[in-house]
C-alpha cells in the first residue's frame, strides 16, 4: 500500500509539473506575441526601449516575472533588461553542455518564423543549473524571445 501511495504521488507530481510547464510555455508565447503587437503599433526603437526595462516596469508588466529579449539576425543582443548584455555577439557562446543555444534560438526564428530551443542555464531563483526552453519569433528584423525553466 505504501509503494502504491508513493507511486501515485510521483505520477501526480509529474502530471502537475508537466501541466505547469505547458502553462509557462503558453505564457512565454503570449509574451512574445505581445511584443510583436507592440512592435507593429510602435516600431522597432520603442520596442527595444521597452525590452530594456525591468519586466515589472515595461509595457509587458502583466507577464512579470517573465520577460522578453531580442537579438538581431547576426546573433547580437539588441535588447535585454540586463543592459550589460546588449551589443555582444552570442553566436558561438555555448551552454554548459556545449550547445550553441543562442544560435539555435535565432536560427529557428529566421528559418521557421518561430520555434523552441532547449538548453541548460543557471536559474536565478535557485542558483542552480536547470533545463530551460525558449520561444523565439521573428518580429520585423528582430528575433524576440522569452524563456521558461523546465
Q: How many domains, in total, are found in the chain?
A: 1
Q: For residue 23, what pLDDT is reported?
A: 72
CB-count exposure of residue 43 (10 Å: 0-12, 13-18, 19+): exposed
* Cα 145 from Cα 105, distance rounded (Å): 8
Q: What pLDDT is recorded for position 99?
A: 98
Contact 68, 31 (CB under 8 A): yes
Per the structure, the complete domain to which residue 136 belongs is given by: 2-149
**Distant-in-sequence, close-in-space partners of 35: CB < 8 Å, separation ≥ 6:** 47, 50, 51, 60, 68, 70, 139, 144
Find, among 149, 150, 122, 141, the residue nearest to 79 by Cα: 141
* CATH number reported for the structural domain that contains residue 37 in this entry: 3.30.450.20
pTM, two decimals, is 0.85
* Amino acid 20: pLDDT: 52
DSSP tag of 63: G
Four-CA torsion 26, 29, 33, 39, nearest 10 degrees: 150
pLDDT in tens, the chain (150 residues): 544 434 333 333 333 334 456 679 999 999 999 999 999 999 999 999 999 999 999 999 999 999 999 999 999 999 999 999 999 999 999 999 999 999 999 999 999 999 999 999 999 999 999 999 999 999 999 999 999 999
Amino acid at each position: 500500500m505504501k509503494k502504491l501511495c508513493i507511486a501515485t504521488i510521483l505520477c501526480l507530481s509529474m502530471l502537475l509539473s508537466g501541466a505547469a510547464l505547458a502553462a509557462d510555455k503558453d505564457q512565454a508565447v503570449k509574451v512574445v506575441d505581445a511584443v510583436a503587437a507592440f512592435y507593429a503599433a510602435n516600431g522597432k526603437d520603442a520596442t527595444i526601449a521597452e525590452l530594456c526595462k525591468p519586466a515589472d516596469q515595461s509595457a509587458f508588466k502583466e507577464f512579470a516575472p517573465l520577460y522578453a529579449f531580442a537579438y538581431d539576425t547576426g546573433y547580437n543582443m539588441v535588447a535585454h533588461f540586463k543592459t550589460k548584455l546588449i551589443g555582444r555577439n552570442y553566436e558561438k557562446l555555448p551552454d554548459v553542455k556545449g550547445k550553441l543555444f543562442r544560435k539555435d534560438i535565432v536560427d529557428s526564428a529566421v528559418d521557421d518564423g518561430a520555434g523552441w530551443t532547449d538548453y541548460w542555464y543557471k536559474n536565478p531563483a535557485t542558483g542552480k543549473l536547470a533545463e530551460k526552453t525558449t520561444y523565439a519569433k521573428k518580429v520585423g528584423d528582430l528575433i524576440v524571445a522569452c524563456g521558461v525553466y523546465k
